[in-house]
Structure 1
Amino acid sequence: MLRPSTMILQVLLALTFTVIPLSRISGAPTLQQVLALAVPSWLIWLANVIELSGAVLLLFGLRVDLLAVIGALLIAASMMGATLAHVRAGNLFAEVPWTLVFLGLSLSIVLLRWSAIQIILRR
């Protein structure tokens, strides 16, 4: 059974990674921040798709463990890329801590759901 704390973490992470890409799509200041990193626009769109997909999978993952893990891994991959982009741009203290927090939260979901995944993989 899914612990309430894990469920809350998944929902909050899903909400966060719905709002962030949608704000970039709508042209909010976050888009200007990302463009300032000299990241190609196609990569920004790919990150939006990955983050939104991860958010949706986290929500479906409230019922299906494997989907939660896949969603969390998608978000973790995006946060690794974001961390590298911010390090390259010299945003070590402004943005990198946030990307690392989100990376850690997404990986914690993978760890919290891993025992259920092992059961599925053994079948």
Structure 2
Amino acid sequence: MKKAWRIKKNSEFQEVFKKGASFANRQLVIYFLHKDQQDHYRIGLSVSKKIGNAVVRNQVKRYIRQIFHELDEKIKNEYDIIIIARQPAKEMDYYQFKKSVSHLLFKTKLLKN
């Protein structure tokens, strides 16, 4: 995933939290905000220290980035998306993550028809 497609600044995270909508399942929470004149979606990841040590947290983030890379052409472009991992995420494998993320994107209508 290109670095230009990532949300890094705290102010950008806060804007999505305050102005955007959210949806959750047991493993993940998604916040999303519609942004006009944006040519590609941007993604921000948040994995708490409660999930595990640095190795586990980085693995969770790698899984999520790879899923967005694979679903790249199916996701609507004009959104900022933040994914927050919950406690059960530390025991999940890649395919369970993909199913969970796909479920959230489908429910929030962020996938193209």
TM (norm. structure 1) is 0.29
Structure number with higher helix proportion: 1
Structure number with higher strand proportion: 2
Which structure: larger Rg?
1
